[in-house]
């Protein structure tokens, strides 16, 4: 960023006074709360981000002139038969700076959880950095029910207690996959304010008022030990008057998301939801207990109904998702023919994928450079891949980050999302 040098002539008191007033204004400007001051058209983000390799060293940016590197806390969730898929997603998104909680719901046999636990103990890097945990006492998760929200809150509570110093929480399923390395994501997020929450949201819920908000459902997963479908009550309820409902928005452009429950949330916001010094998160949790597909609206409604967080939202879930027109209950399954659009979207994640589809191999080869069965390499991997070996068999500093060309696509997406045309105008509206 260019700095302006001001030259003044001694004896001209008015110029000295002007300089002092300018410095005072600068101090006041820098002290403003970013969450209350929109980042107007922000060329400085694009100008300051470089794709050069760097090692931030001890302190992750301290004393180097580079911003401090963030940490992410991931929930990777699946159900019966998903252990191999959860393992593959973990390998694709792994980085020693981050924390990972693996959860196979109660429908999965204990043997699958044991399989994941054995892998975590056997992989050298995971064993050395001790940043992966497998949930032993699994939650029962009913599709469309509030138990999905309970699972996410449980994961957040575990991560808040177990892992220190992380900045953002990311929820992924076994059918998700990254479109870029963690080095790329960490690099770009290091330039962002730590109070930004990424989730698609709108109060213009349209048909969802009658298919989501007014019906009353009961999730047997709250009181039964086996998974089953939700029960529907005959009665309907009116729309709430003490708060506004927000849900995942349906987009009309190419990479769309309808009713998205996928989020990237800040640690401070999740502390607010879990520890709950304000009663709003608990009140809404009780309301959403009888709400169909509650993950599409719980976090969205909490964040947009509290003054401390409603100005921190970015209206994007950072996923590439395609829907039929009109959208069906599930998004389209992504294949090789969608690869180009996935890449051009700039989104760091995509869904949904079939197990071991060829498009996943293409992503591994062309975007992640991940060897089969290995971890996605990054600046922390110091092995010699030229010898045909996994470079992550040897590892160095977890603060070493070497972003690739994919980081430029994520940078372009962030500049667009945080522009004056998109940021404030799409917040909690």
For the stretch 330-354, pLDDT in tens is 789 999 999 999 999 999 999 999 9
Tell me, what's the pLDDT at 228? 80
Confidence of residue 177 (pLDDT cuts 50, 70, 90): very high
pLDDT digits (tens, 9 = 90+) for 414-425: 999 999 999 999
Per-residue pLDDT band at 64 (split at 50, 70, 90): low
59: alpha, beta or left, given left = phi > 0 and alpha = psi -120 to 50? left
> Who's near 202: CB < 8 A, 6+ residues apart?
246, 247, 248, 249, 315, 429
Cα(384)–Cα(314) distance, integer angstroms: 40
What pLDDT sits at residue 98? Answer: 98
For 12, 26, 161, 202, the CA distances from 208, given in Å and listed in that order, are 67, 47, 36, 11
Q: Beta-carbon neighbour count of residue 394 at 10 Å?
A: 14
Read off the pLDDT band of 250 (50, 70, 90): low
pLDDT at site 61: 53
3-state SS of the chain?
A: CCCCCCCCCCCCHHHHHHHHHHHHHHHHHHCCCHHHCCCCCCHHHHHHCCCCCEECCCCCCCCCCCCCCCCEEEEEEECCCCHHHHHHHHHHHCCCCCEEEEEECCCCCHHHHHHHHHHHHHCHHHHHHCCEEECCCCCCCCCCCCHHHHHHHHHHHHHHHHCCCCCEEEEEECCEEECCCHHHHHHHHCCCCCCCEECCCECCCCCHHHHHHCEEEECHHHCCCCCCCCEEEEEECCCCCCCCCCECCCCCCCCCCCCCCCCEEEHHHHHHHHHCCCCHHHHHHHHHCCCCCHHHCHHHHHHHCCCCCCCCEECCCCEECCCCCCCCCCCCCCCHHHHHHHHHHCCCEEECCCCCCHHHHHHHHHHHCCCCCCCCCCCCECCCHHHCCCHHHCECCCCEECCCCHHHHHHHHHHHHCCCCCCHHHCCC
* Mean per-residue pLDDT, 238-266: 74
Q: Per-residue pLDDT averaged across 87-91, rounded?
A: 98
**Average confidence (pLDDT) over 35-55:** 39
Which pLDDT tens digit goes with each residue over 121-164?
A: 999 999 999 999 999 999 999 878 899 999 999 999 999 999 98
Q: Is the pLDDT of residue 115 over 60?
A: yes
- Rounded to an integer, the average pLDDT of 105-114 is 96
Residue 325 is predicted with a pLDDT of 73
pLDDT score of 203? 87
pLDDT, mean over the chain: 84
Domains of the chain, earliest start first? 72-204+243-426 (3.90.550)
Does pLDDT of 35 surpass 70?
Answer: no
| pLDDT at residue 413 greater than cutoff 70 | yes
Please report which confidence band the pLDDT of residue 249 belongs to, taking 50, 70 and 90 as the band edges.
Answer: low
What spatial distance separates the first Cα and last Cα of the chain, rounded to whole Å?
A: 33
Residue 349 β-bridge partners? 178, 319
Query: Which pLDDT score is estimated for 173?
Result: 96
CA distance 156 to 171: 10
Mean per-residue pLDDT for 240-254? 73
Q: What are the tokens at 166? A: 């992380």
- For residues 332 and 323, the answer to whether their CB atoms sit within 8 Å is yes
Confidence of residue 259 (pLDDT cuts 50, 70, 90): low
Q: Is the pLDDT of residue 376 over 80?
A: yes
Q: Which range is most confident: 3-12, 50-59, 97-106? A: 97-106
Residue 188: pLDDT above 90?
A: yes
Between 185 and 277, whose confidence is greater? Answer: 185
Taking only Cα atoms into account, the Rg of the chain, rounded to an integer number of angstroms, comes to: 23
pLDDT above 50 (res 48): no
Looking at the chain, the whole-number percentage of residues with pLDDT higher than 90 is: 67
In this prediction, residue 145 carries a pLDDT of: 86
């Amino acid at each position: 960023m260019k700095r302006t040098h001001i030259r003044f002539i001694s004896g001209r008191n008015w110029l000295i006074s002007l300089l002092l007033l300018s410095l005072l204004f600068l101090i006041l400007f820098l002290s403003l709360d970013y969450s209350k001051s929109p980042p107007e058209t922000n060329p400085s983000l694009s100008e300051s981000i470089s794709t050069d390799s760097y090692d931030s060293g001890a302190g992750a940016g301290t004393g180097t002139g580079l911003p401090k590197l963030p940490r992410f806390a991931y929930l990777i969730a699946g159900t019966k038969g998903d252990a191999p898929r959860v393992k593959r997603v973990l390998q694709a998104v792994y980085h020693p700076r981050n924390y990972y909680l693996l959860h196979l719901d109660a429908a999965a046999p204990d043997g699958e959880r044991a399989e994941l636990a054995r892998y975590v103990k056997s992989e050298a890097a995971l064993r050395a950095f001790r940043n992966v945990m497998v949930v032993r006492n699994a939650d029962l998760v009913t599709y469309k029910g509030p138990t999905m929200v309970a699972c996410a809150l449980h994961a957040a509570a575990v991560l808040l207690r177990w892992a220190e110093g992380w900045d953002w929480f990311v929820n992924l399923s076994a059918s998700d996959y990254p479109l870029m390395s963690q080095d790329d994501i960490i690099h770009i997020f290091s330039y962002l304010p730590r109070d930004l929450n990424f989730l698609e949201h709108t109060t213009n819920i349209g048909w969802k008022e009658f298919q989501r908000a007014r019906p009353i459902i009961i999730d047997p997963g709250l009181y039964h030990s086996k998974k089953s479908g939700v029960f529907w009550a005959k009665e309907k309820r009116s729309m709430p008057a003490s708060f506004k409902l927000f849900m995942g928005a349906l987009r009309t452009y190419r990479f769309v998301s309808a009713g998205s429950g996928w989020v990237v949330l800040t640690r401070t916001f999740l502390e607010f939801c879990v520890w709950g010094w304000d009663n709003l998160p608990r009140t809404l949790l009780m309301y959403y207990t009888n709400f169909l597909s509650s993950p599409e609206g719980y976090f969205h409604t909490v964040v947009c109904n509290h003054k401390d967080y409603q100005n921190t939202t970015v209206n994007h879930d950072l996923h590439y998702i395609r829907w039929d027109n009109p959208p069906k209950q599930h998004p389209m399954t992504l294949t090789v023919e969608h690869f180009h659009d996935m890449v051009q979207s700039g989104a760091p994640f995509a869904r949904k994928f079939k197990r071991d589809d060829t498009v996943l191999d293409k992503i591994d080869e062309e975007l992640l450079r991940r060897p089969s069965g290995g971890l996605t390499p990054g600046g922390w991997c110091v092995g010699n891949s030229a010898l045909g070996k996994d470079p992550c068999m040897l590892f160095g500093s977890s603060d070493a980050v070497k972003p690739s060309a994919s980081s430029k696509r994520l940078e372009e997406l962030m500049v667009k999302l945080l522009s004056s045309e998109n940021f404030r105008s799409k917040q909690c509206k």
